[in-house]
Amino acid sequence: ETEEVIKEMTFTINKEKTLLENPVTRSLILIAMFCLISLFAWLVSKYREKKVKLQLEAFYEKQEKENLKKIAFRDYLTGLYNRNYITKWTVEGVGKGRYPITLIILDCNNLKLTNDTYGHEVGDVVLKAVADTAKKVFRASDIIGRFGGEEFIAFFSNTDLEGAKIAAEHFRQAVEEAVIIAEGQHIPVTISIGLTNMPCTKLLELTKQADIALYYSKEHGRNQVSVYSLEMEKEQKAEQ
């Protein structure tokens, strides 16, 4: 029995060996292997292609969302936050806080005169220069925005009144000393600032007080920082 099994196995091996030695058989085997390898390579390339496509779609979708968000919340000229974001932030962010907050509102002095004298393109250069100075002077944690026209607004959290006054004065000086060149000419720029500090649960009152302080700065010589006081408010009401 054992001998018969051995003989049968030997016969099978010899038969397979003969088949493998056959040029036609070997060619068919090589073609089959080539086809399998090609199919595997094609499947891998398709998988990678789909993966890259999905990654690109995800990347472009993220970029589109970021661009839309930037358009919605950033001022197109200065790159600062716009009025929409400031309003949203005050309602959703600051309004839920419990810490005191300091607010400054500032105005570019005589920007209308600059526009009338040199043109609105030069006025845009001035606004951008003021915004760039604000980005350099203020902290990354401060919320700075363009509120409209030549008016800017900034919120300082966890900052007492004296610290905010020092920061505002530093900013005012930086703007005054900035070298702003437009159309080959040096454009002198100054700003007036109104500042106030109180618990952030009274945001409307905060804005109103900063406006009163800004008005005081503009009516008393411009190019200065004024801190809100009750006397200022009484003075303005008496003038009306």
pLDDT digits (tens, 9 = 90+) for 35-45: 888 888 888 88
pTM across the whole model? 0.69
Helix (H) / strand (E) containing 153: strand 151-157
Q: How far apart are CA 149 and CA 112, in angstroms?
A: 10
Q: Which of 100, 115, 93, 108 is nearest to 209 (CA)?
A: 100
User: Could you list the active site residues?
Assistant: 150
Q: Coil, strand or helix: which one is 119? A: coil
Q: How confident is the model at residue 100 (pLDDT cuts 50, 70, 90)?
A: low
- 83-92 vs 23-73: helix axis angle to the nearest 10? 90
Tell me: the pLDDT tens digits for 103-123? Answer: 899 999 999 999 999 899 999
